[in-house]
Structure 1
Amino acid sequence: MRVLILEDDHWIADLLKQIVLSLRPHAEVACLGSVAEALADWQRQPSDLLISDWNLPDGEGTRLLKQVRQQNREVPLVMITGRTDRSSVVEVRALGINAFISKPFQASRVAASLDQLLPAAEAQKHAACAVDDEDFMAHLEKLPASELDLPLSQGIRDRLLQSFKGEQLSLRELAEDWRHDPALNARLLTVANSSAYKGAGRPCISLLEALHKLGAATSLNLAMGLALRQSAALDSPLLRQLAEVHLDASERLAETSMALARQCSLDPAPFHSAALLHRMGELCVLYLAQAWEKRGHNLGEAQVAQALGQFSSPFAIAIKARWQLPMALRELIGACYALPNNSIKRAAVLMRLAACEQDASVDSNAQARLRRLAGLA
């Protein structure tokens, strides 16, 4: 089974992909961002379902749907659009569109619609057949940055899947429920600061700012995209235990750094975000380990420890670059580990001091020096 998604908004495309995979786990899903790419893809390999946005950078998605209908009258077509006027619907009536998805959409309603249009689920393949002899470390070595992500906490994933049935939540409820989850903080900050949503004004550097900019509907859809991933949460007891160590360290650092920020009359919100994300490299490795096990492989504690030691730092660097986190936030995250040799901002000094206070190996003289630099002596 193959599904083609034509959508230039990466985040919407990913959500649609995860919805399809939640319904048909073995489907092949191709996400493309231009009409030209989609037309070429259809000619190479026809799909069993097409989902197309109306407006694309190189034209209207109806070009693809018209081409498909000339060759195939049976394949289901789904149109994504912000247009709700009658004339637009009439314009494409001859194409035999099977479903319209109006933006902003509710993920649960989209799932119900697609479930009716997708071909019946294929027989499940045995996991053992998919296992190869590739080494986990070799697998991590060649992973593209697009595959790097963070796991959701199990509790938040479960609540999101419950809300998949249509439960409405306020922005304040979302912020309170999600404020301790690194994956959600990273995803919402990334999207809120992306070219598609950024707009004018300063970058968002806290979860609440991101929620206000994106709105409840978009924020919930972005979170749902994370929750529907097949390796969204850490099921393995070993991986979950290791994640708790890093999450606890992040929470302690958040509390200490926010207290120091308040002492200096600085906004504590960016310190919370930076502390929550400063172990993103380690969490990324654990997320990838879970995905590896889902493919039918077994991992021991020694293998996971080796992967954490070798890949946590480079993965964190790759994630910060690809997600284009605001520079102010990246500087605070960096200060958790060291201060730059050039100009030192007070916020960075406070974050470094908070990290040192959490590290028993740092001597009191180093902490005293940082307190003087921060104006706390």
Structure 2
Amino acid sequence: MRVMILEDDSWIADLLKQIVLSLRPDCQVVCLSSVSAALQEWQQRPADLVISDWNLPDGPGTRLLEQVRRDSSSTPLVVITGRSDRASVMAVRALKINAFISKPFQAAHVAASLETLLPPDIDQPPPQADDAQHDLLAHLYSLPSNELQLPLNAQVRDRLLQSFKGEQIDLRQLASEWQQDPALSVRLLGVANSSAYNAGGKPCSNLLEALQKLGAKNSLNLAMGLALRQSSALQNPMLSLFAQAHLDSTEQLIERSTRLARQCAMDPAPFHCAALLHRMGELCVLYQAQVWEDSGQSFSEEQIMQALDQFSGPFAISIKAQWQLPMQLRELIGACYALPSSNVKRENILMRLAACELNTNHDDPEQARLRRLAGLA
């Protein structure tokens, strides 16, 4: 089965893709961002269902739908649009559109519409391990940056999936849980700081600012897309144990850094966010190891230790670049590990002090020096 999605907003396209895959896991989904590319794709490889935005940079998505209808009278067509007035609907009446989905949409409603339109799934044999790829370290080395992810907190993921299935959840409670989840924080910060949502404005440096910029519906849809993408939490006991150790360290640094920020009458939110993300490289390695195991492969504890040592730093750098984290936040994250000799920013000094207080005894000379620089001596 093949589904084509024409949508120039990459975040919406990814969410639609994850919704389709949640309904038909073995489906092949292709996402395109221009009418010309979609027309070419359709001529080469027709799809069993077409989902198209109405307004694209190079013209209306109805150009694609018209071509599909000329070639096939039975292929289901779905239009994603911000205009669902009667005049717009009547304008494409001849195309026999099967469903109109208005923006901003709810993921659960989209899933309900697509469920009735997608052809039945054909049972496929379980995936077999690829004998040519048997080494975890080689696999991690070959991973492209756009596949790097952090594991969602299992409880947060379960709540999001409950909402996707139509169950009522307390959004305020869910948002409070997001503040402790590195995966959601880095994703929402990345989207909020992208050109699509922040054209030349002040960058968001913490989750609250990102939520305010994106709005409740967009934030929930983005979180839902991440939850649908992650087929499982860290189910391997060893990986879960390693992850919990890193999350415990994160919680301790959040408490210590935000306390110092308040003591110095500074906004604690960026400190909270930097501390939350300072182990994202390690968490990314552990998540990718779980994906590796889910594909039928295996690893040893020694390989996990080697992977954490070799890839945590490079993965963290790649994620920070991929998700366009602002420089203020990058500097705070970096200060958790080291402080450049030329640094004069008080917030970075405070973050470095918080990390040192967790890792050294109270009489350490470096702590005393940092406290003097921070004006706390």
1:262 and 1:189 map into 2 onto residues whose CA distance is: 23
For 1:106, the equivalent position in structure 2 comes to 106
Shift of 1:20: 0.8
Give percent identity, aligned residues only: 67
For 1:133, the equivalent position in structure 2 comes to 132
Q: Secondary structure of the residue that 2:229 maps to in structure 1?
A: coil
1:232 and 1:99 map into 2 onto residues whose CA distance is: 31
Shift of 1:201: 4.2
For 1:153, the equivalent position in structure 2 comes to 153
Q: Secondary structure of the residue that 2:100 maps to in structure 1?
A: strand
Q: Is the 8 A contact 1:192 1:213 kept in 2?
A: yes
Please tell me whether residue 41 in structure 1 is matched to residue 41 in structure 2.
yes
For 1:316, the equivalent position in structure 2 comes to 316
For 1:335, the equivalent position in structure 2 comes to 335
Q: Is the 8 A contact 2:137 2:307 kept in 1?
A: yes
Shift of 1:17: 0.8
Shift of 1:171: 5.7
Deviations 1:160-186 (A, max 9, x none): 111113355566433312110001111
Counterpart residue type for residue 202 of structure 1: K
For 2:269, the equivalent position in structure 1 comes to 269
For 1:279, the equivalent position in structure 2 comes to 279
Please tell me whether residue 374 in structure 1 is matched to residue 374 in structure 2.
yes
1:232 and 1:251 map into 2 onto residues whose CA distance is: 23
Q: TM-score normalised to the size of structure 2?
A: 0.96
Counterpart residue type for residue 148 of structure 1: L
Q: Is the 8 A contact 1:175 1:208 kept in 2?
A: no
CA change 1:187–1:266 in 2 (3 A) is same
| Structure 2 counterparts to residues 23-102 of structure 1, below 5 A | 23-102=23-102
Shift of 1:266: 0.4
For 2:15, the equivalent position in structure 1 comes to 15
Please tell me whether residue 224 in structure 1 is matched to residue 224 in structure 2.
yes
Q: Give me the CA root mean square deviation.
A: 1.6
1:223 and 1:240 map into 2 onto residues whose CA distance is: 21
Shift of 1:357: 1.0
Q: Is the 8 A contact 2:4 2:49 kept in 1?
A: yes
Counterpart residue type for residue 146 of structure 1: N
1:181 and 1:342 map into 2 onto residues whose CA distance is: 32
Q: Secondary structure of the residue that 1:240 maps to in structure 2?
A: helix
Shift of 1:146: 0.7
1:339 and 1:349 map into 2 onto residues whose CA distance is: 7
Deviations 1:34-87 (A, max 9, x none): 111111111221111111111111111111111111111111111100002111
Moved more, 143-152 or 196-205: 196-205
Q: Is the 8 A contact 2:84 2:100 kept in 1?
A: no
1:61 and 1:130 map into 2 onto residues whose CA distance is: 40
Q: Secondary structure of the residue that 1:228 maps to in structure 2?
A: helix
Shift of 1:196: 1.2
Q: Is the 8 A contact 1:106 1:221 kept in 2?
A: yes
Q: TM-score normalised to the size of structure 1?
A: 0.96
2:214 and 2:20 map into 1 onto residues whose CA distance is: 24
Q: What is the aligned residue count?
A: 376
